[in-house]
Structure 1
């Protein structure tokens, strides 16, 4: 059963939140992630272009992770650190992220000049449809 929210319940919830005792989830600093997970941290590299897609997928699967930007490479890459204890959640999120990336490259596709010329020739050979309308006063009513 649900209880009515009293001022004492609200006060204790706000105090817990403000004190920082509430468990942090999702993106956090490297130190916070180390403190939260007693096990070893694993990492992967994600490119600068794909970091947005990865962040969406990680939020969806409620994965705790920390980002470190590697400025020494061009373009910059990100190292994503995550707890080895929650590897299964991370594997599911990462496999979906990789699947999204592959789908984008397949959709985009690359055409050769010959393929483009063949497609243009097909379009030129098709007869164009022309609409003809007759305007009369009888058709308006």
Structure 2
């Protein structure tokens, strides 16, 4: 509970001779303008219109994967501004990623890591398959134990 309260509260330090409502109002406006400016510096997924409005032109790259979320994670890690559009005209939908021209090297590195992570996920054996394999091995082992019990001699032979 205490953490929630401290995360939602802010501290303003104002140097003034007399604290009036106008001074407090100006301080709050200055803080809100600072927050608005700080939000615009965030990197990651933005709209195509905002991306085109930035200082440099945009380049594009096509992605046919359905794992756009994992690409977004990797792109945010590299602080790349990008926009994703879905091309619905093709039967398996393609995704077109727009990014700033000066970020071409960084986006290539991010895309390389994205492909590496996806290949790693695809080569991994699923937990259900592994569990079924161990279940089959266990049942084969149990059948072998039963067969060994049947062949044991249960008494003295003459």
Shorter-chain TM-score above 0.5: yes
- Measured in 1, the distance between the counterparts of 2:79 and 2:37 equals 23
Instruction: Say which of 55, 58, 68 aligns to 1:51.
Output: 68
* Deviation digits for residues 62-113 of structure 1 (CA, Å, limit 9, x no counterpart): 210011110112232210011120223212221211111110121148xxxx
- Is residue 2:88 matched to residue 1:71? yes
Moved over 6 A (4+): none
Distance in 1 between residues matched to 2:39 and 2:72, nearest whole Å: 25
Q: What are structure 2's unaligned runs of at least 5 residues?
A: 1-10, 15-23, 127-131, 146-158
Q: Deviations over 1:102-139 (max 9, x none)?
A: 10121148xxxxxx99x95x55543589xxxxxxxxxx
Q: Give the equivalent residue in structure 2 for 1:31.
A: 49
Higher RCO structure, 1 or 2 (CA under 8 Å, sep 6+): 1
- How far apart, CA to CA, are the structure 2 residues paired with 1:58 and 1:94? 8
Alignment of 1:58-137 (within 5 A): 58-108=75-125, 120=136, 123-127=138-142
Q: What is the TM-score with the length of structure 2 in the denominator?
A: 0.58
TM-score where L is the length of structure 1: 0.64
- For structure 1, the residue ranges without an aligned partner over 5 or more in a row are 110-115, 130-141
